[in-house]
């Protein structure tokens, strides 16, 4: 009986601890904000370093080989913001894929110094007849 | 006393066979991952790292669950063999957690463009690793076997409590780590059938490796118990100590 009550008390403590961990993780571990969340209160994020996450808009990617300046639009389908990133794009960076950029806003333009790819959880082979292009991969490495 | 003593301290034949089977399966798993699996439409050949990373991560979870269950049995019954099983599982959990982190870093640099970032999934995995290290530090500090077993069982249960958060981190929080592709709630598998089969085979290989480590560590643990009991026994135990 004593053992049972200890057991119940222990489980209750674990559940409460779990709920507290969940709440605090939820509140403080917002890993990135979405363009629409920035649009709601731009003043709060002005000049602050933050992570902005979203999808790379189709037909918005420009890369200047000379200055290594990469520009594209990041969107959450509600709001869109231009991103300026210095450096070559990572291997999996492309249109319509998820990205998280680190940096800060400057006059409505996000100046990024770290470009991370957030790819989807879908894994599948390329469609038939369209294999991975080894030559293109070699070219990209030169 | 003779009951707890292994008649033959050498490794039994079936355990050697299990080790060799694991090794052979590992070779088949590597062949499936590196040759049979098609490349991914987005990641290309990098998808092959996923088989190693995900399989060791799953078996790390399995080892944590095993350690907590054996720890609970030890708290309930107080039998030394349950403590040995809990420690053996925890050692494998630490080993597979280390492999998960190393494999994850290898995989995430070319795909996500960073070795490490403090998102919820990675932070919880670092916490899991740190708790397992703590498990063995605490064991090293306690000399009384019963107390050592009880305290480490409680740590094992705390590690288990962190697992649901870790498993569902990408669903509950915004993370850089990709979400689960295989949903156990029946909402489907976001993975090509061949890739899924290759992954599940590799999970099986990692599980075999875990079983081999577990049985081998329990074999050593039994010898340790026998020696501890021989040392505790007041007299007539000198010949038992010389195993």
DSSP assignment of B112-159 equals HS-S----HHHHHHHHHHHHHHHHHHHHHH--SHHHHHHHHHHHHHHH
Instruction: Give B193's contacts in chain A (Cβ within 8 Å).
Output: none
Choose between A139 and B70: higher pLDDT: B70
Residue B114: its pLDDT value, please?
A: 94
- Residue B113: is it exposed, middle or buried by C-beta count within 10 angstroms (0-12/13-18/19+)? buried
| A2 contact partners, CB below 8 Å, separation of at least 6 | none
* Least CB–CB distance from B119: residue in A31, A97, A121: A31
pTM for this prediction: 0.84
Annotate A76-131 with three-state secondary structure: CCCCEEEEEEECCCCCCCCCCCEEEEEEEEECCEEEEEEEEEECCCCECCCCCCCC
A interface test, pick of B116, B124, B174 with most A CB neighbours within 10 Å: B174
Q: What is the mean pLDDT of residues B76-87?
A: 95
A91-110 residues touching B, CB cutoff 8 A: 91-93, 97, 100
> Which phi and psi angles does B11 have, rounded to 5°?
-70, 130
**E strands, chain B, where?**
182-183, 188-189
Are the C-beta atoms of A88 and A70 separated by less than 8 Å?
yes
Residue A141 touches chain B, beta carbons under 8 Å: no
Choose between B78 and B7: higher pLDDT: B78
Q: Which residue has the tokens 């249960």?
A: B157
> How many pairs of residues across A and B have Cβ atoms under 8 Å apart?
105
Instruction: Give A19's contacts in chain B (Cβ within 8 Å).
Output: none
Instruction: Give B165's contacts in chain A (Cβ within 8 Å).
Output: 18, 21-22, 25
Q: DSSP state, B233?
A: S
Q: In chain B, whose CA is at the least distance from the CA of A137?
A: B44
Residue B234: its pLDDT value, please?
A: 66
Q: Per residue of chain A (142 residues), what is the pLDDT tens digit?
A: 777 888 888 888 878 877 777 666 665 567 899 999 999 988 888 878 889 999 999 999 999 988 899 999 999 989 999 999 998 889 899 899 999 999 999 888 999 999 999 988 889 888 876 555 666 656 666 5
Residue A141: its pLDDT value, please?
A: 61
Question: Rounded distance, CA B168 to CA B157, Å?
Answer: 18
Residue A139: its pLDDT value, please?
A: 65
Buried b (16+ CB within 10 A) or exposed e, A61-96: beeeeeeeebebbbbbeeebbebebeeebbbbbbee
Residue B230: its pLDDT value, please?
A: 87
Residue B237: its pLDDT value, please?
A: 47
pLDDT in tens, B100-112: 999 999 999 999 9
Q: In chain A, whose CA is at the least distance from the CA of B172?
A: A26
Q: Using 50, 70 and 90 to split pLDDT, how confident is the model at B221?
A: very high
Q: What percent of chain B has pLDDT over 70?
A: 92
Question: Rounded distance, CA B122 to CA A26, Å?
Answer: 15
Residue B93: its pLDDT value, please?
A: 98
Instruction: Give A131's contacts in chain B (Cβ within 8 Å).
Output: 39
Residue B242: its pLDDT value, please?
A: 46
Question: Rounded distance, CA A32 to CA A13, Å?
Answer: 31
**Cα–Cα distances in angstroms (integers) from residue B15 to residues A91, A136, B221, in the given order:** 45, 49, 15
Question: Rounded distance, CA B22 to CA B1, Å?
Answer: 34
Question: Rounded distance, CA A24 to CA A39, Å?
Answer: 25
Choose between B171 and B97: higher pLDDT: B97
Q: Tell me whether 0.85 is exceeded by the ipTM.
A: no
A interface test, pick of B38, B39, B42 with most A CB neighbours within 10 Å: B42
Q: Reply yes or no on whether the pLDDT at B211 is more than 90.
A: yes
Helix, strand, coil percent values for chain B (each to nearest 5): 75, 5, 25
Write out the two tokens for A1. Answer: 């009986």
Q: Reply yes or no on whether the pLDDT at B2 is more than 50.
A: no
**Cα–Cα distances in angstroms (integers) from residue A37 to residues A30, A43, A105, in the given order:** 12, 11, 13
Question: Rounded distance, CA B59 to CA B214, Å?
Answer: 12
Instruction: Give B42's contacts in chain A (Cβ within 8 Å).
Output: 92, 97, 119-120
Is the Cβ pair A123, B190 closer than 8 Å?
yes
Residue B235: its pLDDT value, please?
A: 57
Q: DSSP state, B40?
A: B
Which domains are seen in chain A, by residue range? 30-117 (2.40.50.140)
**Residue A16: beta bridge partners?**
none
Is the Cβ pair A119, B45 closer than 8 Å?
no
B interface test, pick of A16, A124, A135, A140 with most B CB neighbours within 10 Å: A124
Choose between B240 and A120: higher pLDDT: A120
Q: Reply yes or no on whether the pLDDT at B42 is more than 70.
A: yes
């Amino acid at each position: 009986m004593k053992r049972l009550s200890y057991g119940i008390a222990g489980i209750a403590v674990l559940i409460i601890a779990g709920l507290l961990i969940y709440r605090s993780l939820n509140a403080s571990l917002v890993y990135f904000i979405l363009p629409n969340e920035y649009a709601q209160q731009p003043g709060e994020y002005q000049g602050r370093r933050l992570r902005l996450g979203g999808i790379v808009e189709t037909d918005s990617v420009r890369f200047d080989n000379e200055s290594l300046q990469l520009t594209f639009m990041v969107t959450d389908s509600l709001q869109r913001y231009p991103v300026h990133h210095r450096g070559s794009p990572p291997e999996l960076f492309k249109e319509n894929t998820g990205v998280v950029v680190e940096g800060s806003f400057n006059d409505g333009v996000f100046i990024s110094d770290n470009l991370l790819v957030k790819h989807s959880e879908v894994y599948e082979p390329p469609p038939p007849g369209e294999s991975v292009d080894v030559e293109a991969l070699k070219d990209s490495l030169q | 006393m003779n009951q707890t003593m292994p008649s033959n301290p050498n490794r039994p034949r079936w355990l050697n066979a299990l080790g060799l089977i694991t090794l052979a399966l590992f070779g088949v798993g590597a062949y499936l991952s590196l040759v049979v699996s098609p490349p991914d439409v987005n990641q290309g050949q990098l998808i092959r790292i996923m088989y190693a990373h995900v399989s060791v991560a799953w078996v790390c979870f399995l080892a944590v669950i095993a350690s907590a269950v054996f720890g609970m049995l030890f708290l309930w019954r107080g039998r030394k063999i349950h403590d040995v099983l809990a420690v053996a599982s925890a050692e494998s959990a630490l080993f597979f957690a280390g492999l998960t982190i190393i494999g994850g870093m290898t995989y995430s640099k070319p795909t996500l463009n960073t070795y490490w970032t403090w998102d919820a999934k990675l932070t919880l995995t670092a916490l899991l690793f740190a708790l397992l290290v703590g498990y063995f530090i605490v064991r090293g500090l306690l000399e009384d076997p019963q107390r050592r077993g009880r305290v480490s069982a409680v740590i094992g249960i705390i590690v288990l409590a962190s697992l649901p958060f870790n498993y569902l981190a990408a669903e509950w929080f915004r993370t850089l780590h990709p979400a689960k592709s295989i949903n156990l709630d029946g909402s489907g598998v976001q993975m090509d059938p061949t890739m899924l089969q290759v992954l599940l085979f590799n999970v099986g290989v990692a599980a075999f490796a875990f079983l081999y480590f577990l049985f081998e560590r329990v074999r050593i643990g039994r010898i340790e118990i026998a020696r501890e009991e021989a040392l505790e026994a007041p007299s007539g135990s000198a010949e038992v100590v010389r195993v």
